[in-house]
Chain A
């Protein structure tokens, strides 16, 4: 596993009466990625501290137009379950959370649930993030930033490296409002 050098300002005042604060979490993935992935958690509630998710190995399939997939390994080292429910990116009109079943890709409206102390792998042929309606080409060697939305209302920043990839061409059956 990436050794996570997490430096989080946990001294954040829970008594601070629901003031929105941002915590920056930097995970340094040793031995695996030259790029570091930055996860930003934005506190919006004041009940409990949010689960701190860690992202490693994030990458997106290069594409000239249309839609494309984003993949990563997302870990939830906390003792609370977290669900990724949506997100947005400046690179695309919108993003969707997808699953692949029987070779058919479709939207997964319930999102990606991460149980406490678990890791969810987003990979071709399985759960993944889709950028829908690209605003421009995603070229190999670039990075694309995505802000994922959690059920807690917090957000998770993912910076994905764009790579050429021949697979991940699953037939897309639009549903639940997702067509392009």
Chain B
């Protein structure tokens, strides 16, 4: 069943499209006449579907996750100083704000590609090296650095680390590509690309908005909150009401663990449906816990079947991943990926997994330790990339992302 929130959004979008509303009267920037000509019946969907860029938190952290994402990581060039970082952040901020509003940024060689933001957001994360160069070692949060080693990890150096993370998200993949290109082009004097990867969910409109995504194993993935808007989100993500121990510049920001988790679709094929469900502890048809009927039913971890065995097995992912204390609660989000490896190689399929919380060492790490010790899903999944970033707070017009740091 769709929630009321979902239904309303779907209805609003449907109504706007069927009404064929005329273009927006207010637009801005160079090339406005071109933009206006193209703002036709797509109201409510692409051209005027905008997420406000400015605010106390970065928009991509608090917005509903759109269908497509590109993760870009960069390394600082040797000569990039704090002053250069400041200039780079101003550029990224101005360009991102323009792109989010559907306007072409300065010096955009393909300005027409900017006019359909489709809920575009750009989110910045800082690796340890960037924070050190920007403000010295004293500004580094205690948890900002490589995670402890886990036995399941098979990390590829090229997919691990990075000084700057840029996540571009939108409901339109062409807009994602263009925004990523703009930012890559405009930061070339400061950083060099390290790796980038596209993530995807269902296309907008293919499923009711707000539907929990499915991963490439067919599982409903991401039921466990908190989600943006939930009461627990502000506490566990931004540390509101918590003595986080984080440096002052990170107020309104958060910690961010990015894991590139490869999924072996071939060996998963060998598993029957019953065991697939027991591996996670959830039904495949609707994501409900094996002890419940609906996706968001609370799981009964003490329930036993008629043979006296736990209905949700001891090795089930959801049992092992659940928080053992309020402090361990963090937000999680994922995007599917699938990439060619080269001629003759099988594609690498997997999940780009985000663990978002004010202190990954107290939230993600203890959780991942339990999964590392025992989780049936470890038979089929392998973390191949890993990085930790500090997500700075948002900013207001005239400011820039990272201004509290540098």
CA A142 – CA B190 in complex, angstroms? 13
Q: In the complex the two chains form, is B93's CB within 8 Å of A2's CB?
A: no
Shortest distance from the beta carbon of A72 to any chain B beta carbon, whole Å: 9
Interface set, chain A 2-18, CB cutoff 8 A to B: 2-3
Interface centre among B27, B29, B106 (most CB of A within 10 A): B106
CB pair A34–B94 under 8 Å, yes or no, is: yes
User: Is there an interface contact between A59 and B29, defined as CB atoms closer than 8 Å?
Assistant: no
In the complex, the chain B residue whose C-beta lies closest to that of A1 is B32
Beta-carbon contact of A33 and B189 below 8 Å: no
Q: How extensive is the interface on chain A, given as a class? A: 20 to 34
B25-80 contacts to A, CB under 8 A, are 26-30, 32
For A168, give the chain B residue with the smallest CB separation: B107
Contact call B98/A32, Cβ cutoff below 8 A: yes
Which residues does chain B contribute within 8 Å of A161, judged by CB atoms?
A: 91, 94, 106
Which among A32, A35, A139, A163 is the interface contact of B103 at CB below 8 angstroms? A32
Q: In whole angstroms, what is the CA distance A34 to B93 when docked?
A: 9
Assembled-state Cα–Cα distance A62/B107 (Å): 11
User: At the interface, is chain B mostly helix, strand, loop or mixed?
Assistant: loop
B59: shortest Cβ distance to chain A, in Å? 15
Selected interface stretch from B82-90, B293-301, B329-337, B385-393: B82-90
A164 interface residue per 8 A CB criterion? yes
Q: Is the pair B87, A34 in contact by a Cβ cutoff of 8 Å?
A: no
Q: Is residue A93 within 8 Å, beta carbon to beta carbon, of the partner chain?
A: no
- Is the pair A32, B397 in contact by a Cβ cutoff of 8 Å? no
**B190 contacts which chain A residues (CB < 8 A)?**
140
Q: Is B368 an interface residue (CB 8 A)?
A: no
Q: Which of B114-143 contact A (CB under 8 A)?
A: none
Q: Complex Cα distance A121/B30, Å? A: 9
Query: Does A86 have its Cβ within 8 Å of any Cβ on chain B?
Result: no
The residue that A57 contacts in the complex, of B30, B88, B185, B188, with Cβ under 8 A, is: B30
Separation of A24 and B188 alpha carbons in the complex (Å): 36
Known: A33-B29, A163-B106, A165-B107. A139 touches B87 (CB 8 A): yes
Which of A2, A121, A140, A142 has the most B CB atoms < 10 Å from its CB?
Answer: A140
Q: In the complex where A32-B29, A121-B30 touch, is A164 in contact with B94 (Cβ < 8 A)?
A: no
B residues in contact (CB < 8 Å) with A:
26-30, 32, 84, 86-88, 90-91, 93-94, 97-98, 101, 103, 106-107, 109, 185-186, 188-190, 397-398, 400
Could you list which residues of chain A lie within 8 angstroms of chain B, going by C-beta atoms?
A: 1-3, 29-35, 56-57, 59, 61-62, 71, 73, 121, 139-142, 161, 163-167
Known: A33-B98, A59-B106; 6 extra A-B contacts, CB below 8 A, are: A62-B189, A141-B86, A141-B91, A164-B188, A165-B107, A166-B185
What would be 25 A-B contacts, judged by CB atoms less than 8 Å apart? A1-B28, A29-B28, A31-B27, A31-B28, A32-B30, A32-B101, A33-B94, A33-B98, A34-B90, A34-B93, A34-B94, A34-B97, A34-B400, A56-B30, A59-B107, A140-B87, A140-B190, A141-B86, A141-B88, A141-B90, A142-B87, A161-B91, A163-B107, A163-B186, A164-B189
